[in-house]
């Protein structure tokens, strides 16, 4: 049971990070993420 909970937690965390990456590099327009994300290549 604990392995399943940990796997779900890691999966959710990875999805959050992927959304930030997609917004930072303009791969996707995510209107729900209102805080500006700084792109390190700027």
Write the pLDDT tens digit of every residue in 8-33: 999 999 999 998 888 877 777 777 76
- The answer as to whether 8 is a domain residue is yes
Domain coverage including residue 22: 1-34
The Cα–Cα gap between 9 and 2 comes to 11
pTM beyond 0.75: no
Domain assignment of residue 2, yes or no: yes
Measured CA to CA, the distance from residue 11 to residue 37 in angstroms comes to 21
Tell me whether residue 4 is in a domain.
Answer: yes
The answer to whether position 40 is within a domain reads: no
- Asked if the structure places residue 6 within a domain, the reply is yes
Does residue 17 lie in a domain region?
A: yes
**42: in domain:** no
pLDDT at 1: 95
What's the DSSP call for residue 41? T
41 lies in a domain? Answer: no
The domain total for the chain is 1
């Amino acid at each position: 049971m604990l392995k399943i909970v940990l796997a779900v937690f890691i999966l959710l965390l990875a999805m959050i990070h992927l959304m930030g990456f997609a917004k930072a590099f303009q791969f996707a327009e995510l209107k729900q993420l209102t805080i500006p994300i700084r792109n390190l290549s700027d």
